[in-house]
Chain A
């Protein structure tokens, strides 16, 4: 990735630190909306805790509803952040440098949002610590054969590693902020910069650690959504019990995450005038990966139907027929069209290069991927083996409010991040531009 020749080291600092200046009206307006939606969500959760889980629509036979949908959706969103920051780093893809910071922050915030939902789903949320292995008085330990415990380990590890990775990359940039800050701010940034001073010793160990963290995050990211998919695939519910679930979920996760990166970066670039750093080329490259992940997702959908038909298993066949023409057919078609057909528009160069179409398509994919999780979870439970126990799931206002609250929580974290820490990596952009040379030899 070539940046324009006018970009010098000093300019990078000035331009990127400008993002951290006192926010404008639009920022406060967005903050106000986000906080209002979040407070509705918090109210709904408090109401649910106060009255009991009965106020949510989840009941027999559909005991997993919007909460688990959100959990799977947000863990999925996290994945493309790691793809961009770790996997593309290992492949030495140079265009990642100006977008990886926001993608990595998105990862951390998405995991934080995801982590809320199993706890909300518990109903009696204060018992969540039952999942943690600790020597208790009853001497009982978690059942390590259960996918739900794998989830706890996978998601916790993912959060900690992503956080370390994000922080490690941030260190030199926090130092850059510190060196320009004054007064109380300077104290805070000095504290969190850990005394980084850019010496050769620091850079040497830092670069080495960064490589190892990237190498560890790469298999981790594949494992996390695989484990999430096994929450379903390890059961014997038709439509869930499938060996393709792990790769299918990982591809879907990256598909949705890339769309979310676009959804976040397009306004970020516009509002903070980062056109020189986040170029149209970045968006185009992301769009090309989306075509690829979209095709994998389409193939997975097709394979599921093929398995149902070829296995000649009546329960599998019934559930897939139900998805296409049953009670939730609308959601199914949203999922198919938004996730597999809409991304194909990126084959046209015009679609990849126009900001408006990029934004619209990325939002559509986000919606489609959310519905994918809903379709997988709800239709299978609603239409299991015995027709006598079939049923329908209708979310209540509490669930919808908490759903909206989850999005607001994520948006709030991202909004705060953008104003507190450099959302574009200063030191890594410097690695890409030509260093100042006198030129005499």
Chain B
């Protein structure tokens, strides 16, 4: 996916205005929105109608892989040098389950991390040109990607719904 560089950015300082603006933009057929906020908000998520994050599948797959590698490691290494200790069977499942459990969690956690990185497209080398340092403090940003011709109509929508600043970003 190519970086969306062309578009209009509106900066807001009130959450309710952001939510209203997103609604209005969506109604008018602008789907390609990017909203920046200082904290996560369910209201924004709901109005954007984004899909449920697929990170959960990464956690699940990581966990399953972890469990399998736990079994493979304990059983495989025990068979490769079959030495009876403490009169216990070579493949002693109950103690091996502890290793399986720990590796399930370990791989599940690492899988979750990979999931975030891939889905949220992190790490980024440089910040987008549309990023404003005040987004991490108390401002909200709504970026609408669109061709140059639509700049003014969108800027009009943003301003009329309460944007305090409007910026144009060109390729």
B140 CB to nearest chain A CB (Å): 9
> Which B positions have Cβ atoms within 8 angstroms of A?
13-17, 33-41, 44-45, 48, 50, 52-53, 55-56, 59, 63, 73-74, 77-78, 80-81, 85-86, 88, 92, 95-96, 98-99, 101-103, 105-106, 108-110, 112-113, 115-116, 119-128, 131, 133-138, 162
A49 CB to nearest chain B CB (Å): 30
Chain B residues near A140 (CB, 8 Å)? 81
Chain B residues near A207 (CB, 8 Å)? 40, 53
Q: Are B105 and A196 in contact (CB under 8 A)?
A: no
Q: Are B85 and A143 in contact (CB under 8 A)?
A: yes
Q: Are B138 and A194 in contact (CB under 8 A)?
A: no
A282 CB to nearest chain B CB (Å): 20
B49 CB to nearest chain A CB (Å): 11
Q: Are B137 and A200 in contact (CB under 8 A)?
A: no
Chain B residues near A130 (CB, 8 Å)? none
Q: Are B80 and A139 in contact (CB under 8 A)?
A: yes
Q: Are B137 and A161 in contact (CB under 8 A)?
A: no
Q: Are A437 and B120 in contact (CB under 8 A)?
A: no
> Contacts A172-B136, A431-B40 hold; do A145 and B112 have CB atoms under 8 A apart?
no
B115 CB to nearest chain A CB (Å): 6
Q: Are A439 and B92 in contact (CB under 8 A)?
A: no
Q: Are A179 and B137 in contact (CB under 8 A)?
A: yes
Q: Are B16 and A202 in contact (CB under 8 A)?
A: no
Chain A residues near B73 (CB, 8 Å)? 133, 144
Q: In this complex, what residue of B is CB-closest to A176?
A: B136
Q: Is A288 close to B, CB under 8 A? A: no
> Contacts A144-B95, A197-B131 hold; do A202 and B120 have CB atoms under 8 A apart?
yes
Q: Are A431 and B39 in contact (CB under 8 A)?
A: yes
Q: Are A194 and B35 in contact (CB under 8 A)?
A: no
Q: Are A9 and B38 in contact (CB under 8 A)?
A: yes
Chain A residues near B33 (CB, 8 Å)? 200
Chain B residues near A149 (CB, 8 Å)? 99
Q: In this complex, what residue of B is CB-closest to A177?
A: B136
Chain A residues near B56 (CB, 8 Å)? 208, 212
Inter-chain CA distance A194–B126, complex, in Å, is 9
Q: Are A198 and B37 in contact (CB under 8 A)?
A: yes
Chain B residues near A428 (CB, 8 Å)? 39
Chain A residues near B53 (CB, 8 Å)? 204-205, 207-209
Q: Are B85 and A200 in contact (CB under 8 A)?
A: no
**Contact of B102 (CB < 8 Å), options: A8, A153, A209:** A153
A163 CB to nearest chain B CB (Å): 10
Q: Are B81 and A141 in contact (CB under 8 A)?
A: yes
Inter-chain CA distance A201–B92, complex, in Å, is 46
Q: In this complex, what residue of A is CB-closest to B113?
A: A164
A151-175 to B contact mask, C-beta < 8 Å, 1/0 = 0011011001100110010001001
A341 CB to nearest chain B CB (Å): 35
Q: Is A220 close to B, CB under 8 A? A: yes
Q: Is A274 close to B, CB under 8 A? A: no
Q: Are B98 and A198 in contact (CB under 8 A)?
A: no
Inter-chain CA distance A9–B15, complex, in Å, is 12
Q: Are B124 and A438 in contact (CB under 8 A)?
A: no
Chain B residues near A385 (CB, 8 Å)? none
> Which residues of A (124-147) have their CB < 8 Å from a CB of B?
133, 139-145
Chain B residues near A10 (CB, 8 Å)? 137-138
Q: Is A199 close to B, CB under 8 A? A: yes
Other than the given A144-B96, A172-B39, A207-B40, 18 more pairs (CB < 8 A) read A13-B137, A133-B77, A144-B92, A145-B88, A150-B98, A154-B98, A179-B133, A194-B124, A197-B135, A199-B36, A200-B48, A205-B119, A206-B120, A209-B112, A216-B59, A216-B109, A219-B105, A220-B102
**Contact of B121 (CB < 8 Å), options: A176, A201, A209, A223:** A201
- Enumerate the 4 nearest inter-chain pairs by beta-carbon distance, A residue then B residue, closest first: A195-B124, A9-B138, A179-B133, A194-B123
**Contact of A439 (CB < 8 Å), options: B16, B110, B135, B136:** B16
Chain B residues near A436 (CB, 8 Å)? 13-15, 138
> Contacts A144-B77, A145-B85, A194-B122 hold; do A200 and B35 have CB atoms under 8 A apart?
yes
Q: Are B123 and A157 in contact (CB under 8 A)?
A: no
Q: Are B37 and A203 in contact (CB under 8 A)?
A: yes
Q: Are B113 and A209 in contact (CB under 8 A)?
A: yes
Q: Are B137 and A195 in contact (CB under 8 A)?
A: no
Q: Is A427 close to B, CB under 8 A? A: yes
Q: Are A141 and B80 in contact (CB under 8 A)?
A: yes
Inter-chain CA distance A227–B98, complex, in Å, is 8
Q: Are B115 and A209 in contact (CB under 8 A)?
A: yes
**Contact of B127 (CB < 8 Å), options: A195, A430, A441:** A195
Chain A residues near B110 (CB, 8 Å)? 160, 164
B129 CB to nearest chain A CB (Å): 11
Inter-chain CA distance A145–B101, complex, in Å, is 14
Inter-chain CA distance A131–B76, complex, in Å, is 17
> Contacts A195-B125, A216-B109, A223-B102 hold; do A437 and B15 have CB atoms under 8 A apart?
yes
